[in-house]
Chain A
Amino acid sequence: MLKTLIQNGRVIDPSQNIDRVTNLLIEEGRIAAIDVDPQSDMKVIDATGKLVVPGLIDLHVQIREPGFEEDETIESATYAALAGGFTSIAAISETNPPVDSAAAVIYLGRQASEADHCNVFPVACVSSGRQGEEMAEIGILHNAGAIAFSDGQRPVSNPELLRRALEYTLMFGRPVLNRPEMVELSRDGVMHDGSVSTVLGLAPMPAEAEDVMAARDIRICEATGGKLHLLAISCSGTVDILRRAKVRSVGVTASICAYQFALTDDAMRGFHTSLKLNPPLRSRDHIDACIAGLKDGTIDVITSGHAPRSSEKKMCAITEAPFGMVGLETALGLISTHLIHTGHVDWPTVIRAMSTNVAQVLGVEKGTLQPGADADVTLIDPDARWTVDTSSFRSKSFNSPFGGVELTGRAVETIVGGVTKFRYDGN
């Protein structure tokens, strides 16, 4: 019977309000106990100076297989996840064919099992073919293993379809993840609508495109009593709308991409396609509002916003390039550097937003270090200084604007089901 003791680390578990230096015992792939003294039959991992936290969960990972394997495969995405400290990812359908059939959900699970890296939770389409017209066979998809429903980057524009989906998923207790964007307001947009876009002549993506859609979605959610998660919010108006909705106890949660905290729209002055992101990099006032939202719990979840695109797809005009960047391997470092070391938020807030809350939103039994839980654990060195080297990414794609950037803080060991799946050795 293998026992592993993670010794002398700062154990942070928001699910139990634990934040102290102690020892954590793993046994048979599960959390066995904390505050345990070492014994001779235990393998010991020295975690002095490290954080020991529930394995990080990414709620918003674009899986590109099947159909776009040149960008990413399930094997490469899950490997990249481990390197970023994620023990679980929710795979949101950006595939061709889309994940709108039981076979597609089962395929995702099978590929993830074969890769044997991190846990993969399939998120199936809300609408058939991701076309935004007819509801997908949500019951069948649920039975096949889908844990949530989303059309990914394509917002559910039809309000009736969203209403039906929120009502229908109630039967299964599963959330709908929707990206709030009124595409008629952001059509052909490349970047945040502000002074910088005015000067650069790049087509704008106004904040109102998000605010208006978020308000609509929340109102429909309130009317149905459904479980709605707003993906990748980025605007101060949306944070305000969400805050007021939460006061009314509407069943809505929201996430934000880690990259939002690292750069402002001013970075677009270089016209680099790696910065063409959706949602776009916003101006400082929006970022400050989002930080406030994260601190007061209005924003529940931080994601990596992992949207890999192969280099050849990005080697073109910024107006023609696809949106997206590789995010899994830099998310934690960006958050540590730009939110923790700047003093904006503390580690328990971040761990809550990157693990505990994510598990609750998805309705999965993860995100905790309670005895009996799966031993999914991430060890973080909060002070590790490292330089992002895109050539060493585990992801198949390299399109990150953070190549060559020095970050402080990163995952140094990722344990899934009691097994160390990744250990940082400086590469």
Chain B
Amino acid sequence: METPGFLEPFVGRWTKRHLLDLESLTSDEITLLLDVAQAFKESTQDCRHKLPLLTGHTSVNLFFEDSTRTRTSFSLAARRLGADVIEFSASSSSLSKGETLLDTAKTIQSMCIDTLVCRHRAPGIPQMLAENMDVSVINAGDGPHEHPTQGLLDILTIRQHRGDLSGKTVAMVGDIAHSRTARSNIWGLQKLGAHVIVCGPSTLVSRRWEEFGVEVSHDLDTILPRCDVLNLLRIQFERQYTRPFPSVREYALLYAMDQKRMQRAKPDILIMAPGPINRGVEITPEVADGEHSVILHQVNNGLAVRMAAMWLLGAGRAR
């Protein structure tokens, strides 16, 4: 299929083979990804229509960690672009027979695939695959390191609701230490001119982020009136040996976004969460489902962002 008109302006502008992180992307590259995602969204009626732009391509979802929204989103994105999709599950693969991860990946590669979408609990696995294989690799979350498409869909959501990010203040609240979402958002938001605050208990929010131009706060109530966007991150208890705060009750008291705190916020504040959300811990149900919440918009934008990434890496890339 010929490139449809709405994508013509973007053809040949992407030069990278992989999408591994937002830290290494330029602001122009991030903007291009967002613009293409927006174009997909506007031209395909919320991405419901199929566009056979990647017909003949094969995308493999190589997921070593549980996932609902990300895996589904990548599968749908590939299918809506006409690509074939193979779902790979670590537990039913030869990995369970002792095969190394790289050998498994190379076996899959030898079946003539084009794109690997990889999620793994360890940082760096997508990079290792990118260095050792001859296909495009998209990082769908590598441990606490990065989750670039999540970062992009968060930023796209903010851009849709608030326009240019320059000068906006975006706070991420919660478990920054273990959050790949935070590590992608920080780079992406800063490169587009936003002021980023990370907020949470001192055991989960390192002062070291100040070295990278990020404001660090341990007091949500103090920063709240300045925030245009609040992104509430889940506490990842499964990654911790000792609890980083005395109790869930205490955490909720200090950091949960509830109706009382909404009174202190800007009247047009955007409430976001990458999910899954723990209702009553980071966010109360009335705020999660309230008028300021754009949580479901984020999920919807995920599809457009992943279509954009797959198209740019596949058909839209400069050769």
A188 to B122, CA, bound (A): 12
- Pick the residue among A187, A195, A201, A319 that contacts B208 (CB under 8 A): A195
Contact indicator A202/B123 (Cβ below 8 Å): yes
Which A residues lie within 8 Å of B178 (CB)? 201
A318 to B121, CA, bound (A): 10
The stretch of A309-317, A366-374, A387-395, A398-406 in contact with B is: A309-317
Contact indicator B144/A201 (Cβ below 8 Å): yes
With A201-B144, A315-B101, A320-B122 in contact, do A271 and B180 touch (Cβ < 8 Å)?
Answer: no
CB distance from A32 to the nearest CB of B (A): 54
A2 contacts chain B at the CB level, 8 A cutoff: no
B124 contacts chain A at the CB level, 8 A cutoff: yes
Contact flags B134-148 to A (C-beta < 8 A → 1, else 0): 000000001111100
Find the A residue at minimum CB distance from B178.
Answer: A201
A199 to B206, CA, bound (A): 11
Within 8 A of A (CB), among B68-88: none
Which A residues lie within 8 Å of B124 (CB)? 200, 202, 270-271, 317-318
Find the B residue at minimum CB distance from A315.
Answer: B100
Contact indicator A187/B123 (Cβ below 8 Å): no
Contact indicator B100/A187 (Cβ below 8 Å): no
Contact indicator A315/B211 (Cβ below 8 Å): no
With A198-B209, A201-B180 in contact, do A317 and B125 touch (Cβ < 8 Å)?
Answer: yes
With A270-B127, A315-B100, A315-B102 in contact, do A199 and B122 touch (Cβ < 8 Å)?
Answer: no
Contact indicator B123/A195 (Cβ below 8 Å): no
A274 to B144, CA, bound (A): 21
Contact indicator A312/B100 (Cβ below 8 Å): yes
Contact indicator A319/B143 (Cβ below 8 Å): yes
Which B residues lie within 8 Å of A315 (CB)? 100-103
Within 8 A of B (CB), among A175-215: 187-188, 194-195, 198-202
Which B residues lie within 8 Å of A312 (CB)? 100
Contact indicator B101/A199 (Cβ below 8 Å): no
CB distance from B239 to the nearest CB of A (A): 9
Which A residues lie within 8 Å of B127 (CB)? 270-271
B120 contacts chain A at the CB level, 8 A cutoff: yes
Find the A residue at minimum CB distance from B120.
Answer: A317
Which B residues lie within 8 Å of A320 (CB)? 122
Contact indicator B121/A319 (Cβ below 8 Å): yes
A118 to B180, CA, bound (A): 49
Contact indicator A199/B143 (Cβ below 8 Å): no
Contact flags B173-185 to A (C-beta < 8 A → 1, else 0): 0000010100100
Contact flags A305-334 to B (C-beta < 8 A → 1, else 0): 000000010011111100000000000000
B318 contacts chain A at the CB level, 8 A cutoff: no
B286 contacts chain A at the CB level, 8 A cutoff: no
Task: List residues of chain A with CB under 8 Å of any chain B CB.
Answer: 187-188, 194-195, 198-202, 270-271, 312, 315-320
Known: A200-B123, A319-B123. 8 other contacts (CB 8 A): A188-B241, A198-B208, A202-B143, A202-B144, A271-B128, A315-B103, A316-B101, A317-B125
Question: Can you list 27 contacts pairing A with B, beta carbon distance less than 8 Å?
Answer: A187-B241, A188-B241, A195-B211, A195-B212, A198-B206, A199-B212, A200-B124, A200-B145, A201-B142, A201-B143, A201-B178, A201-B180, A202-B124, A271-B123, A271-B124, A271-B125, A315-B101, A315-B102, A315-B103, A317-B120, A317-B122, A317-B125, A318-B122, A319-B121, A319-B122, A319-B123, A320-B122
